[in-house]
């Protein structure tokens, strides 16, 4: 059973930058849904794809036990943009949203059910605020949100924020924003947004 971890945040709050200390560490691999440069010096072994089958193959075959899917929200957006014009209206639109939900749900289930116990997969997404003021992962519209509660599929959800000029991860529910982690995994509500240290803490907690 692999461990999926969700990371959310606004643009510029340090989601991708949290990988900065993973450079040169063979424990990490990167899957880019959007092919853009890293916001720091150095490289992390990576591939660029938004094809779910290629992603699951890469996760299964990678020797790196800690994998990151960056800009994962674009797995949903890109599929939608390529297909919505051809779907027309009515039932066809509902079918498209069903496919969007199925694809993402199947990805998280693959991580949880098909990967080994020492494999951690970090899924990085933008955040959005709904009509109730709740801050959640950004998807495409209410139809998708009604079909799948993304954050409910994860035991660990971290939110990137900037506090007093410092980039931080929020580890528990705070100010209407979904964040959560097992009791005792992290020693504070707000921690440094260092994915290497997060990975160390998760592995220590689960003894992987």
Which structural domain range is residue 44 located in? 3-206
Rounded Cα distance between 26 and 40, Å, is: 17
Rounded Cα distance between 2 and 116, Å, is: 5
Q: Please tell me the predicted confidence (pLDDT) of residue 88.
A: 56
Which is higher by pLDDT, 145 or 202?
A: 202
How many domains are there within the chain?
Answer: 1
Give the tokens for residue 100.
Answer: 């969007």
Q: Please tell me the predicted confidence (pLDDT) of residue 91.
A: 63
Cβ atoms of 172 and 179 closer than 8 Å: yes
C-alpha torsion 84→85→91→94, nearest 10: 10
Q: Please tell me the predicted confidence (pLDDT) of residue 95.
A: 83
Give the tokens for residue 170.
Answer: 């929020």
Confidence label for 45 from pLDDT (cuts 50, 70 and 90): very high
Which is higher by pLDDT, 184 or 176?
A: 184
Q: Please tell me the predicted confidence (pLDDT) of residue 83.
A: 86
Average pLDDT over residues 15-40: 97
Which among 56, 54, 59, 97 is positioned nearest to 77, based on CA atoms?
Answer: 97
Cβ atoms of 8 and 70 closer than 8 Å: no
Tell me the pLDDT of the chain averaged across its residues.
92
Which is higher by pLDDT, 60 or 95?
A: 60
Q: Please tell me the predicted confidence (pLDDT) of residue 87.
A: 55
Place of tokens 């014009």: 85
Q: In what helix (H) or strand (E) does residue 16 lie, and over which residues does it extend?
A: none
Task: Write the pLDDT tens digit of every residue in 123-166.
Answer: 999 999 888 888 889 988 666 677 778 899 999 999 999 999 99
DSSP string, 49-115: ---HHHHHHHHHH-S-SEEEEETTHHHHHHHHHHHHHHH-STHHHHHHHHHHHHHHHHHHHHHHHHS
Q: Please tell me the predicted confidence (pLDDT) of residue 43.
A: 94
Give the phi and the psi of residue 201 in degrees, each rounded to 5.
-65, -40
pTM score > 0.85 for this model? yes
Looking up residue 49, the CATH number of its domain turns out to be 3.40.50.300
Residue 4 has pLDDT above 60, yes or no: yes
Percent of the chain whose predicted confidence (pLDDT) is above 70? 94
Task: Write the pLDDT tens digit of every residue in 66-93.
Answer: 999 999 999 999 998 888 776 555 566 6
Q: Please tell me the predicted confidence (pLDDT) of residue 176.
A: 81
Distances (CA, A) of 141 to 59, 104, 147, 155, 174: 28, 15, 11, 24, 24
Which among 120, 116, 136, 140 is positioned nearest to 128, based on CA atoms?
Answer: 136
């Amino acid at each position: 059973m692999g461990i999926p971890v969700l990371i959310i945040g606004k643009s510029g709050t340090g989601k991708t930058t949290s990988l900065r200390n993973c450079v040169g560490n063979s424990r990490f691999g990167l899957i880019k849904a959007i092919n853009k440069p890293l916001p720091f010096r150095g490289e992390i072994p990576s591939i660029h794809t938004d094809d779910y089958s290629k992603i699951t193959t890469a996760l299964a075959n990678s020797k790196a036990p800690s994998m990151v899917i960056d800009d994962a929200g674009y797995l949903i957006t890109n599929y939608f943009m390529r297909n919505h014009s051809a779907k027309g209206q009515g039932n066809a639109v509902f079918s498209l949203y069903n496919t969007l939900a199925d694809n993402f749900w199947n990805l998280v289930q693959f991580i949880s059910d098909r990967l080994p116990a020492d494999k951690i997969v970090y899924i990085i997404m933008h955040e959005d605020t709904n009509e109730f003021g709740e801050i959640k992962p950004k998807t495409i519209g209410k139809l998708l949100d009604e079909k799948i509660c993304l954050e409910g599929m994860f035991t660990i959800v971290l939110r990137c924020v900037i506090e007093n000029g410092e980039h931080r991860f929020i580890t528990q529910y705070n100010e209407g924003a979904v964040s959560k982690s097992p009791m005792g995994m992290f020693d504070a509500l707000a921690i440094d947004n260092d994915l290497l240290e997060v990975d160390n803490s998760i592995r220590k907690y689960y003894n992987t």
